[in-house]
Structure 1
Amino acid sequence: MSDPERPVPARFSVLAEASPGLLSRLLQPLAKRDLIPDLVLARREGEAMRVEIALEAMPAGMVRLVFGNLGQVVGVMEVRGGAETRRAA
């Protein structure tokens, strides 16, 4: 069984409706876990935004939690991270 505290690299790619508060809402799941991203890259794609968030090391047990939280952010249409992809409802 893997150690949930073991640090692993993580990268999330989010496609969401462009809105003024989007970036702060996307960083919230990291902030509430005292995680600081190593990379945040946001690019407008028409009416949407593509946001990449990467961490060189985060506890393995938090990757799925953050992935799920990103998918629940208002306006998010798709989240990709590692081998998983989730389309928001």
Structure 2
Amino acid sequence: MTADVLFTVDAFAEPGLLPRLLQPFAKRDLTPDHMLARREGEMLRVELGLHAMPAEMVHLVAGNLGQVVGVMRVTETRREALRAAA
């Protein structure tokens, strides 16, 4: 089973943050389909989206993202939930 997932990460804008956020995907042989980073003052908001991500890995990756140094919050949104709300 797969899921379309959007991870949103709020973290302190620090050098090296973006490659650290990609590590949880790389170690599971996953490549995000899109990544968007926006600086908001001293914080950085990063969105990482994957289409057809193995469903059993969603919570594992979210947990690993939350352990990255500088990360304050991680939210995961399944794309089906976004379509239903629209």
Cα deviation, residue 7, structure 1: 1.4
Give the AA of the match of 1:34: D
1:76 corresponds in structure 2 to 71
Cα-to-partner distance string for 1:12-58 (whole Å, 9 max, x where unaligned): 00000001100000000000000010010000000010000000111
Unpaired stretches in structure 1, ≥5 consecutive residues: 1-5, 84-89
Quote the Cα distance in structure 2 between the aligned partners of 1:59 and 1:78.
22
Structure 1's consecutive aligned runs of 4 or more residues displaced over 3 angstroms after TM superposition are: none
Equivalent of 2:39 in 44, 47, 55: 44
How far apart are residue 75 of structure 1 and its match?
0.2
Question: Unpaired runs of 5+ in structure 2?
Answer: 79-86
Q: Return the structure number with greater relative CO, CA threshold 8 A, min gap 6.
A: 2
% identical equivalent positions: 64
How many residues are aligned here? 78
- Equivalence map 1:1-89=2 (5 Å): 6-82=1-77
TM-score by length of 2: 0.88
Write 1 or 2 for the structure with the bigger share of helix.
Answer: 2
SS of match in other structure, 2:49: strand
